[in-house]
Amino acid sequence: MGKVAVGAAVVCAAAVCAAAALVVRHRMRSSGKWARAMAVLREFEEKCSTPIGKLKQVADAMTVEMHAGLASEGGSKLKMLISYVDNLPTGDEKGLFYALDLGGTNFRVLRVQLGGKSGRVVKQEFDEVSIPPHLMIGSSEALFDFIAAALAKFVAEEGEGFHPAPGRQRELGFTFSFPVRQLSISSGTLIKWTKGFNIQDTVGQDVVAELTRAMERIGLDMRVAALVNDTIGTLAGGRYTNQDVVAAVILGTGTNAAYVERAHAIPKWHGLLPKSGEMVINMEWGNFRSSHLPLTEYDQGLDVESLNPGEQIFEKMISGMYLGDIVRRVLCKMAEEAEFFGDTVPPKLKVPFILRTPDMSAMHHDTSPDLKVVASKLKDILEISNTSLKTRKTIVELCDIVATRGARLSAAGILGILKKLGRDTVKDGEKQKSVIALDGGLYEHYTKFRSSMEKTLKELLGEEVAASILIEHSNDGSGIGAALLAASHSQYLEVEEP
């Protein structure tokens, strides 16, 4: 072989060696980055850990806070609001009742004809109305006039099969899902608007009086029999179909719980004890917090940057508004510290709340072999394309960590309520059933969240007790539940009772 050929071979071999070294360095660099990304994920997973022992501590803390909130106003982070609902539906209710459900940019009006034990809900109709944006920031009178006009139009369309009893005033259940200081079953003052409403002259006013005046201005003869929130509506709807319902939980965009308490177990109640001996308590459990909650740096970051720092800590760990953003925050850290998505951090990944919980749920439930749902969500929402299957599998795992923690904490909260009611054990010879009515989009649509929560509750209770506890989906509590509460608090009840 000539000198030139030898030289060329040497140069060629050197080039191959250099290229191979570059590949090795790139692989080492890649595996180093991957190891860093995995370290971020494993540390997060460890901090989110919810062993049964910890969940029992959370449940005990919930029970302690419930006692404190019932003892005195401001005695706990849990408000434990007295709802003045002391009669839940029994199934005997008869007649025509209306409901108005105002909880966001739309409201619903609903009517039901109740037929007592045999007929139950004979017939129902509803209509949905959008609130024009200018009315959400205008005057109180303008908003309630608009609502009353829609209600009057709906009443005017009362058709075949809907019969008000002769000579009786129509009665309405009003679901008002904004913070209210309840004064009686049919009155309450607005503490503050949320969800994009900002009408200053309503704050501090009785919302039932505002609606009543608006109905009077247009000659609509209707009485508000009950003012409730959506959680209490869910409890009423659940109790109507099943007398063993003792509590209701909403797991949706936000979260809350309500339950039936013995009236004499409420030290802060100074009124006459109700005849039923019971009182529904609106816990406002989203505001629960405890040193036992597995909080991470990502939860703290979300809280600090939220509209209500330091508030609703439990809600920020378990509800639909926030789960997707916790996933985004962890991915952001993996991108910043370990180049998880390449050399630069994808700009969209830095946008708060861009990744919504329904998108997280779709990725979590992806069963395609190449995880194409995950790929399309990353591309469409975060503008991240060309991800490896390994990367997509890691994202599914992250969704699982966040959803599982939220689901298990929800189960611990439910155990806290059962403990307060003394229903977390089985007494000899007793066959009592305890039913929890559940509603909300997170519970209804996020299958893995729901099954994890139900499985965890069984684990916490043990087999014997779990057999006596049921979870039932109580759909549309905020609508039909309000109409049922109008029926169970009707002004004509006394007249009918023997």
Catalytic: which of 108, 111, 239, 289?
108
298, 326 Cβ separation under 8 angstroms: yes
Of the residues 86, 230, 303, 424, only one is catalytic, namely 230
DSSP letter at 206 equals B
Task: Give me the catalytic one of 76, 83, 177, 478.
Answer: 177
Q: What is the DSSP letter of 481?
A: I
Q: Which two tokens mark 318? A: 């378990």
Catalytic: 230? yes
Rounded distance between C-alpha atoms, residue 188 and residue 226, angstroms: 10
List the end-to-end C-alpha distance of the chain, in Å, as a whole number: 119
Q: How far from chain centre, in Å, is Cα 498? A: 41
CA distances to 137, 177, 204 from 195, rounded to whole Å, are 11, 10, 18
Known catalytic residue: 410? no
Rg (CA), the chain: 28
- Count of CB atoms within 10 A of residue 355's CB? 25
> Which pairs with CB-CB distance under 8 Å and at least 24 residues apart come from 118-127?
119/94, 120/91, 121/480, 122/161, 123/161, 123/162, 124/480, 125/162, 126/479, 127/154
Helices of type H across 206-247: 207-217, 230-241
CB 438 within 8 A of CB 474: yes
CA–CA separation, 180 and 174 (whole Å) = 12
CB-CB neighbours of 94 under 10 Å = 16
Q: How many helices (H) does the chain have, and how many strands (E)? A: 17, 13
Residues with catalytic annotation?
108, 177, 230
